[in-house]
Chains A and B, each alone.
Chain A
Amino acid sequence: MLCGGTGCHSTGSRALKQALNEELIRKGLGDEIRVIETGCNGFCAVGPVMLIQPEGVFYQRLKVEDIPELVDQHFLKGKLLTQRLYVDPAKKKVIPLMKEIPFFSNQMFWVMRNKGVINPEVIDEYIGRGGYFAAAKALKEMTPEGIISEVKLSGLRGRGGAGFPTGLKWEFAGKSPGDVKYVLCNADEGDPGAFMDRSILEADPHAVLEGMVIAAKAINSHQGYIYCRTEYPLAIHRLEIAIRQARDYGLLGNDILGSKFDFDIEIYQGAGAFVCGEETALMRSIEGKRGMPRPRPPFPAHKGLWEKPTILNNVETFANVAQIIANGGKWYSSVGTETSKGTKVFAISGDVNNIGLVEVPMGTTLRTLIFDIGGGIPDKKKFKAVQLGGPSGGCVPAQYLDTPVDYEEIAKIGAIMGSGGVIVMDENTCMVDMARFFMDFIQDESCGKCTPCREGTRRILEILKRICDGNGNPEDIETLEALSATIKEASLCGLGQTGPNPVLSTLRYFREEYLAHIHEKRCPAKRCVPLLKFEVDAEACKKCGLCFKSCPAEAISWKKKETAVIDKSKCIKCMTCFEKCKYDAIF
Chain B
Amino acid sequence: MTDPFQPRHPDITEQMWEKIDAVIHMNRNKKGSVITVLRECQTVVGYLPVELMNHIAKNLHLSSSEVFGVASFYSLFSFVPKGRHTVKVCLGTACYVKGIKEVVSRISYEYKIKEGETTGDRRFSMEGVRCLGACGLAPVMVVDHDTHGAISADKVITILERYK
Instruction: Indicate, yes or no, whether A interacts with B.
Output: yes
Q: Of B93, B137, B147, B148, which one neighbours A387 at CB under 8 angstroms?
A: B93
B93 and A6 contact, CB distance less than 8 A: no
A47 and B35 alpha carbons, distance in the complex (Å): 36
Q: Please name all residues of chain A whose beta carbon is closer than 8 Å to the beta carbon of B35 when the two chains form the complex.
A: 269, 271, 285, 288
B130 and A441 contact, CB distance less than 8 A: yes
Q: Please name all residues of chain A whose beta carbon is closer than 8 Å to the beta carbon of B136 when the two chains form the complex.
A: 7, 44-45, 47, 195, 349, 355-356
**B74 sits at the interface (CB 8 A):** yes
Contact (A423, B97) CB under 8 Å given A192-B131, A272-B74: yes
Q: Please name all residues of chain B whose beta carbon is closer than 8 Å to the beta carbon of A270 when the two chains form the complex.
A: 74
Residues 122-134 of B, flagged 1 when their CB comes within 8 A of A and 0 if not, give 0000000111111
State which size class the interface on B falls in. 35 or more
B77 and A355 contact, CB distance less than 8 A: no
**Chain A nearest CB: distance from B28 CB in Å?**
13
A287 and B32 contact, CB distance less than 8 A: yes
Contact (A10, B93) CB under 8 Å given A288-B70, A290-B73, A291-B74: no
A6 and B134 contact, CB distance less than 8 A: yes
**B63 sits at the interface (CB 8 A):** no
**Chain B nearest CB: distance from A264 CB in Å?**
15
State which size class the interface on A falls in. 35 or more
**A11 sits at the interface (CB 8 A):** yes
Count of A-B contacts with CB under 8 A?
148
Q: Please name all residues of chain A whose beta carbon is closer than 8 Å to the beta carbon of B98 when the two chains form the complex.
A: 350-351
A526 and B147 alpha carbons, distance in the complex (Å): 29
Which single residue of chain A is at the shortest CB-CB distance from B148? A10
B134 and A7 contact, CB distance less than 8 A: yes
B105 and A574 contact, CB distance less than 8 A: yes
**B39 sits at the interface (CB 8 A):** yes
Q: Please name all residues of chain A whose beta carbon is closer than 8 Å to the beta carbon of B146 when the two chains form the complex.
A: 10
A274 and B130 contact, CB distance less than 8 A: yes
A273 and B74 contact, CB distance less than 8 A: yes
**A161 sits at the interface (CB 8 A):** no
B133 and A576 contact, CB distance less than 8 A: no
Contact (A579, B99) CB under 8 Å given A231-B133, A350-B94: yes
**B12 sits at the interface (CB 8 A):** no
**A329 sits at the interface (CB 8 A):** no
**B36 sits at the interface (CB 8 A):** yes
**B109 sits at the interface (CB 8 A):** yes
A230 and B146 alpha carbons, distance in the complex (Å): 16
A437 and B149 alpha carbons, distance in the complex (Å): 21
Q: Please name all residues of chain A whose beta carbon is closer than 8 Å to the beta carbon of B148 when the two chains form the complex.
A: 10
**B34 sits at the interface (CB 8 A):** yes
Contact (A290, B93) CB under 8 Å given A274-B130, A575-B102: no
**A294 sits at the interface (CB 8 A):** no
A579 and B154 alpha carbons, distance in the complex (Å): 11
B133 and A425 contact, CB distance less than 8 A: no
B interface residues with partner A (beta carbon < 8 Å): 31-36, 38-39, 69-70, 73-77, 91-94, 96-99, 102, 105-106, 109, 129-138, 146-149, 152-154
Q: Beyond A10-B149, A287-B31, A288-B32: 10 further Cβ-contacts under 8 Å?
A: A6-B147, A192-B94, A271-B77, A288-B34, A350-B138, A355-B135, A429-B97, A437-B96, A573-B105, A574-B105
Q: Could you name 5 residue pairs across A and B whose Cβ atoms are closer than 8 Å?
A: A7-B149, A193-B93, A232-B133, A349-B138, A574-B153
